[in-house]
Structures are given as C-alpha cells and as structure tokens.
Amino acid sequence: MKTLLKSQKAKLFLCLIALGILFSLSRGYQSTAKNDEQIIDWDKVRIAFEAYVKDSSPENAKAFLCTLPKDKPEKEKGDKGKTAYYIYINYSLWESKVLAGDRYITEAVFRLVSVADGAFSEAIWEVLSTLAQINPRLFLEVLYEYRNAWYVKHIGYPGIGTKYDVPRGPISELEMRIKALESVKDPKYSELRDECIRLLRKAIRKSP
C-alpha cells in the first residue's frame, strides 16, 4: 500500500512539473509573439528624427531607423500626420543622405514605404528611383533585405514599379536605370535585378 501511494505521489509530482514546463513554454511563446508584433509609435519616430535633423550622426541615423518597424505595422499610435509632415518637409536632408549612400537612412526610407501616402509616398519613390540609377548596388542590397516585406510582396518594388502600374519617367532615364542595374553582377541579387529590369523594359514598351 505504501509503495502504491509513493508511486501515485511520484506521478502527481511529475505531472505538476510537466504542467509547469508547458505553462512556461506557453508564456514564452506569447511573449515572443508579442515582441514580433509590428508596431509604430509615430511620436517616438518624430523625436528620433528631430534629433537626427539637429545632428545627422550615424548614431542618430541608427536610432531613427530603430523606431521604424521592419514591415507593415499591425498597430499605429501617436500623431502620424505631424510626424509624416515633419519628415516630408525635411526631404532635402534625407534625400541627400540616401543618394550619398547612407545605409541607415536608406533602410529607414525603405521601411517608411509601407506607411507613407500622398506626396510623402511620391517623394520616397522619387528618391529610391534615383538611388537605383546612381547607386544600384546599395538599392539592390537594401531591397534584398526587405524582399519578403508586405509592401514588396503585395505592391511591388519601391522606386521601380508596382503590380498595378509601370514606372513613370522619360525613356532615357529608364534606360539609364536599366544600364545601372545591369552593372551589378553579384549573383545574390541577380533575381531581384532581373525583375527590376523587366519592369523598366515594360515601361519603355508602354511609353508613347
């Protein structure tokens, strides 16, 4: 009888341990899922960008980048209009940094694509289309990092073309963009490069 009771207690003890482990794993999974959730706090974005405007250091550029989610956010909070307008009116600053090859700001602009609209969105596209022409390597490097982002999967390649429209611009510019992209020989980016070139050639064929 004593042996039976000991056996039952041992089984109960093991069950309690197993339940504890399962509970811990469940909390860990929920915590991970919560941390993976894409959220943008526009007030924090604005504060970080204001600091960057005052001091355009690599540290402040990285801090600004870190306030932006890597993909389309599930939740937004803060004053989007005020922040988007502030970034937009400082267009000349971030345009010059992107075209000068600043990796942090280039990534930040890629991240802003999924949340920008109106004139702000058009400004981003204009900068990225120019980047593809003057620094095709950097353009493809960053596009590669975000190739699985919601925007790329559902809309298209920022600065190149969407699933709903072909690139706009003089044929000469489109041809120069193609030539620039063709100069990137790294096989890692060949698939993206070729798709960008295909869209640009499609635009040329459709031009009047």
In tens digits, the chain (208 residues) has pLDDT values of: 545 444 555 454 444 444 444 444 445 434 333 446 789 999 999 999 999 999 999 999 999 999 999 999 999 999 999 999 999 999 999 999 999 999 999 999 999 999 999 999 999 999 999 999 999 999 999 999 999 999 999 988 988 876 656 566 677 888 999 999 999 999 999 999 999 999 899 888 877 6
Total residue count of the chain as it appears in this document: 208
Sketch the domain layout of the chain as residue ranges: 38-206
Q: Could you say which DSSP state residue 141 is in?
A: H
Question: Which residue in 167, 175, 110, 165 sits closest to 141, CA to CA?
Answer: 110
Please state the φ and ψ torsions of residue 88, each to the nearest 5 degrees: -60, -45
Which residues lie below 8 Å from residue 10, measured CB to CB, with a gap of 6+? Answer: none
